[in-house]
């Protein structure tokens, strides 16, 4: 091999080596650019996180307004309980007065006796329903939501109790109206319609109020 051929061979090898190094530099540059594009700076990541957090939905609530609403509800339940208690005492006294000192027909005496037996049970159950919310009260600002949840649950249970009471009175009140009208020899259809309409209306109103309270309870639990 001549010197010229050796020199040409060395030049060719040097050229190939230079091309290979150039390709490696190009690949390295592309890799850096790709990494720079796909991986944002840290401050951009924090900015995105902050924006996502700010866009998250959250519930706003006026605790003072909620506390007042709970206080009104508890006061209302106490007033209703007091009224029911007075009515229960009056029914019991009326029954014993009618039984011992007055001359009433058997149908009226039995119906009032049934009411005198059922209403104390109703009052006991009503007291058990309300006692927890009465103990908690309106709560502090930190426990306002928990107090509202307790009062709402108590209201739902009380409405459920009213529904059951209406169902309990269906047979006795129909029997009483039927027996009374039969003894008086008067048409009983209007009396039966009136009595059952009152029961049906009270039941429907109770169901509607209970559904409203249940929706409210779901909202309150979401706030808690």
Question: Using H for helix, E for strand and C for coil, what is the string for the chain?
Answer: CCHHHHHHHHHHHHHHHHHHHHHHHHHHHHHHHHHHHHCCCHHHHHHHHHHHHHHCCCCCCCHHHHHHHHHHHHHHHHHHHHHHHHHHHHHHHHHHHHHHHCCCCHHHHHHHHHHHHHHHHHHHHHHHHHHHHHHHCCCCHHHHHHHHHHHHHHHHHHHHHHHHHHHHCHHHHHHHHHHHHHHHCCCCHHHHHHHHHHHHHHHHHHHHHHHHHHHHHHHHHHHC
State whether 200 and 89 are in the same domain: yes
The pLDDT of residue 30 is 55
* Tokens at 74, concatenated: 């508890």
The pLDDT of residue 165 is 92
State whether 40 and 151 are in the same domain: no
State whether 124 and 208 are in the same domain: yes
- The count of structural domains within the chain is 2
Range(s) of the domain holding residue 152? 63-223
For residues 117 and 110, give the distance between their C-alpha atoms in angstroms, rounded to a whole number. Answer: 10
The pLDDT of residue 136 is 80
The pLDDT of residue 33 is 54
State whether 41 and 68 are in the same domain: no
State whether 159 and 73 are in the same domain: yes
The string over 119-136, giving b where at least 16 C-beta atoms fall within 10 Å of a residue's C-beta and e elsewhere, is beebbebbeebbeebeeb
State whether 201 and 117 are in the same domain: yes
State whether 125 and 145 are in the same domain: yes
State whether 159 and 214 are in the same domain: yes
For residues 220 and 70, give the distance between their C-alpha atoms in angstroms, rounded to a whole number. Answer: 12
State whether 38 and 99 are in the same domain: no
State whether 12 and 69 are in the same domain: no
Cβ neighbours, 10 Å, residue 74: 21
Which among 214, 60, 79, 74 is positioned nearest to 147, based on CA atoms? 74
**pLDDT tens-digit profile, the chain (224 residues):** 555 455 555 545 555 555 555 545 545 555 555 555 444 555 555 455 545 544 444 445 667 788 888 888 889 999 999 999 999 999 999 999 999 887 888 889 999 999 999 999 999 999 999 998 888 876 666 677 888 888 899 999 999 999 999 999 999 999 999 998 888 878 888 889 999 999 999 999 999 999 999 999 998 888 76
* Tokens at 98, concatenated: 């009618």
State whether 104 and 158 are in the same domain: yes
State whether 45 and 105 are in the same domain: no
The pLDDT of residue 26 is 47
């Amino acid at each position: 091999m001549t010197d010229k051929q050796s020199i040409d061979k060395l030049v060719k090898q040097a050229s190939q080596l230079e091309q290979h190094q150039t390709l490696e530099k190009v690949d390295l540059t592309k890799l850096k650019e790709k990494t720079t594009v796909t991986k944002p700076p840290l401050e951009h990541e924090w900015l995105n996180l902050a924006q996502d957090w700010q866009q998250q939905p959250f519930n706003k609530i006026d605790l003072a307004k909620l506390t007042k609403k709970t206080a009104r509800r508890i006061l209302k339940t106490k007033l209703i309980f007091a009224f029911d208690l007075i009515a229960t005492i009056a029914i019991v006294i009326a029954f014993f007065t009618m039984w011992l000192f007055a001359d009433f027909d058997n149908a009226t005496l039995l119906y009032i006796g049934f009411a005198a037996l059922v209403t104390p049970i109703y009052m006991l159950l009503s007291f058990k329903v309300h006692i927890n919310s009465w103990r908690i009260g309106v709560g502090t600002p930190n426990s306002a939501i928990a107090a509202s949840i307790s009062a709402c649950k108590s209201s739902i249970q009380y409405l459920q109790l009213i529904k059951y009471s209406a169902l309990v009175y269906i047979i006795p009140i129909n029997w009483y109206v039927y027996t009374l009208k039969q003894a008086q020899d008067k048409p009983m259809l209007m009396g039966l319609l009136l009595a059952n309409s009152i029961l049906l209306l009270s039941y429907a109103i109770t169901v509607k109020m209970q559904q409203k309270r249940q929706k409210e309870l779901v909202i309150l639990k979401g706030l808690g």
